[in-house]
Amino acid sequence: MTTILYITDLHVGSHVIQLSGVYDKALKHHWRVVEIERERSHRTIAEHLEQWHPDGCIMECGSIVNEDMLTPFKNTPVVYIDPDPGTAREARHTVASDSRAIAAAAARELARSPHASYAFIGWCDPTVWSVERGGFFADEIRKATGLDTAIYDKPWEIGDTREIQTRLESFIRRLPKPVGIFAVNDYTAVQATEACRQLGLECPRDMSIVSVDNEEMHCESAEPTITSIEQDYRGAGRLAADLLEDLMSDASLAPRHLKFGPVRIVRRQSSRVFAAYDHLVAKAVERIRRDASSGITAAEVIADMPVSRRLAEKRFFAATGKTILEEIQSVRLEKIFELLLTDIPIGHISSRCGMQSDSYLKRFFKSQTGMTLREWRNKHRGYAA
């Protein structure tokens, strides 16, 4: 059996999702995949290669910056995921996150409502992906609004949340309000939201925040909940695996440098735009976002609003341009799209998106898209195939 080493710094976060994409392709290619976590191993890459004698390797670089990363592999085919610039210049085959596409998505989301200023908050270390996202975001905001972007790029220590929150309080305090903030990832966004809370800033009156990765543990527990750009990490793993298969079949394969980008924006409270902000409606919208897929009804939403049914509907429509039922259906439709992009059987979708039955789901989906569930899946699952 073909043996592949998947080398990463640690089995956490996006690395796990990328590995699942590699496993998807491993079944097709009949591979045995062995994961090596550099942070939990005292052995060098060369020693792991000597132990396993792999037919090929996938090197998930992430936060690893190592000029010697190329040398251990010698004649072993290798594909690098998100390499640092030094490695990227020499590596023949890479799969990298599309920083420009991510930054453009963040800029579009924040530019949906007017802000007096914009800011980018970078990662604790000046990694290439952090620097690129900040630079591209500043470019996109300047094109869209004519405004410059304030950039926070000073190093900080993960785990010392009080220190970074205090620093961000000082940084954000000086910015004209309302401020549109792009945080390099969800962990950073949590520190930014807490700094805003300490300053007494409210969303959307004083600030809006968008981040990257859509890690629900961070996004859903923050106050406000955080809008985040979900990247196609699973697709990145699949791209890397297919590229490695081609490379193992043809050692003279011309260099390939592939990109993976955003899948979607998961919109939460931190960037929600209202025609006329209404705190009561904002709470109702957030409840619908959380519970629409569990079967919540318009009557249940209204019951939680301490006003009459007529006034609740009137205020909801004035703020959102939709009825409460339309908002519930919109959230459910997004959930259906999300599920269709997975391997979940179509017959299992209705129970996961709050629909009454399979037949009701099919009628609803056809009325909204003009397509059957299977037609939509076949058309849009190019990245997940």
Here the contacts of 294-302 (C-beta below 8 Å, separation 24 or greater) are: 294/354, 295/354, 296/328, 296/354, 297/328, 298/323, 298/324, 298/325, 298/328, 301/328
Q: Using omega within 30 degrees of 0 as the cis cutoff, is the peptide bond preceding 204 cis?
A: yes
Fold of the domain built from segment(s) 2-97+232-263: Rossmann fold (3.40.50)
**DSSP assigned state of 40:** G
Predicted model pTM: 0.82
Q: Answer whether 99-230+266-271 and 279-380 agree in fold.
A: no
User: What local confidence, expressed as pLDDT, does residue 63 receive?
Assistant: 54
pLDDT given at position 159: 85
Helices (H) and strands (E) in the chain, counts: 15, 12
Torsion of CA 135, 141, 146, 148, to 10 degrees: -50
Cβ-Cβ contacts under 8 Å for 79 (sequence gap 6 or more):
56, 57, 58, 59, 93, 94, 95, 240, 243, 244, 247
**CB–CB of 186/228 below 8 Å?**
yes
The whole-number pLDDT of residue 338 equals: 85
CATH superfamily of 99-230+266-271: Response regulator (3.40.50.2300)
- Phi/psi for 214 (5° steps) reads 55, 50
Contacts with 280 (C-beta within 8 Å, 6 or more apart), sequence order: 305, 306, 307, 315
Query: What SS3 state is found at 276?
Result: coil
Q: 117 near 150, Cβ under 8 Å?
A: yes
Beta carbons of 78 and 98 less than 8 angstroms apart: no
DSSP string, 353-372: TT-S-HHHHHHHHHHHHSS-
Q: Which residues of the chain have pLDDT under 70?
A: 62-70, 381-385
Place of tokens 């079967």: 295
**What is the structure's pLDDT at 67?**
47
Share of the chain above pLDDT 90, in %: 64
- Contact partners, residue 120, CB within 8 Å, separation at least 6: 133, 134, 137, 138, 149, 150, 151, 152, 181, 182, 183, 184
Give the count of beta carbons closer than 10 Å to the beta carbon of residue 364: 18
CATH topology of domain 279-380: Arc Repressor Mutant, subunit A (1.10.10)
User: In the chain, what are the domain boundaries?
Assistant: 2-97+232-263, 99-230+266-271, 279-380
| Average pLDDT along the chain | 90
pLDDT at 68: 56
